[in-house]
Copies of this chain bind each other. A is one copy, B any other.
Amino acid sequence: MARARVHNFHVSLDGYGAGETITLEKPIGEAQGLFAPFDGRFIDGLGGVDAPITLDRALTTTWSQGIGAEIMGRGKFGPQTGAWTDDEWRGWWGDEPPFRTPVVVLTHHRRDPLHFDNGTSFHFLDATPVEALARAVELAGGRDVRIGGGPTTIRQFLAADLVDFLHLVTVPLTLGAGVSLWEGLAGVEDRFTVESVTSPSGLTHQFWNRVTSG
């Protein structure tokens, strides 16, 4: 059965996963420091990247394995709000979005799908987490679904108990403000087994696996 998986989700020590305001210049607001340790070159595997294979990088590579679709919040797709007035905007990633699968973008505002040559497509959907996941499972063709963030989206899926696996990366810095991953989720860990390991780099990696009944 297709699982819903979160990968490489970075949070600060005070629990923030993004800054408060997303702009074209600052895709994750004032939280850039969160991604300083992140080397996106590794999300599609170790091949072809001529750099040491550290623990952090090995773990980063699990991002795409067995994934057939992603779900993302609108803020991950772009800085706009309200109705889509700028159809020229095709995401932050240029002609080669790294996803290479269908992506469901959660938005209250209608827009036609976008298709890219590398297998990425964006499908704009006004839906609850349950509905969005059902659509993504269809699009994933039997593979797993990645819940891609941002923090508000992850939080909604955690609250709805729809996340099967969460790879959380705690970055040893404090932001003081931003979008909290944990707000309203007190006790959420009770539904998971949690492994923690701290990398020599100072990052703490956690592997949350949902406890399944039976």
Contacts and interface: CB of A to CB of B under 8 A. Distances in A.
Interface of A: 1, 3, 5, 45-50, 52-55, 58-59, 61-62, 65-67, 143-144, 165, 167, 193, 195-200, 205, 207, 209
A68 B53 CA distance: 17
Copies in the complex: 2
Contacts of A55: 59, 195, 197, 205, 207
Given A199-B197, A200-B197, A45 B58 contact: no
Contacts of A165: 52-53
Nearest to A194: B200
Given A58-B62, A65-B45, A50 B1 contact: yes
Contacts of A1: 50
B54 A209 contact: yes
* Chain B CB within 10 A, most for which of A3, A58, A59, A167: A58
A209 B65 contact: no
A200 B204 CA distance: 13
A196 B184 CA distance: 36
Given A59-B59, A199-B197, A66 B47 contact: yes
A200 B195 CA distance: 6
A191 B32 CA distance: 35
Contacts of A47: 65-67, 143-144
27 contacts: A5-B46, A45-B65, A46-B65, A46-B66, A47-B66, A47-B67, A47-B143, A47-B144, A52-B207, A53-B62, A53-B165, A53-B209, A54-B195, A55-B59, A55-B207, A58-B59, A58-B62, A58-B167, A59-B59, A61-B62, A61-B65, A195-B199, A195-B200, A196-B200, A197-B197, A197-B198, A197-B200
A165 B62 CA distance: 18
A56 to B, nearest CB: 9
Q: Which of A65, A144, A195 has the most CB of B within 10 A?
A: A65
A196 B195 CA distance: 17
Contacts of A5: 46, 53
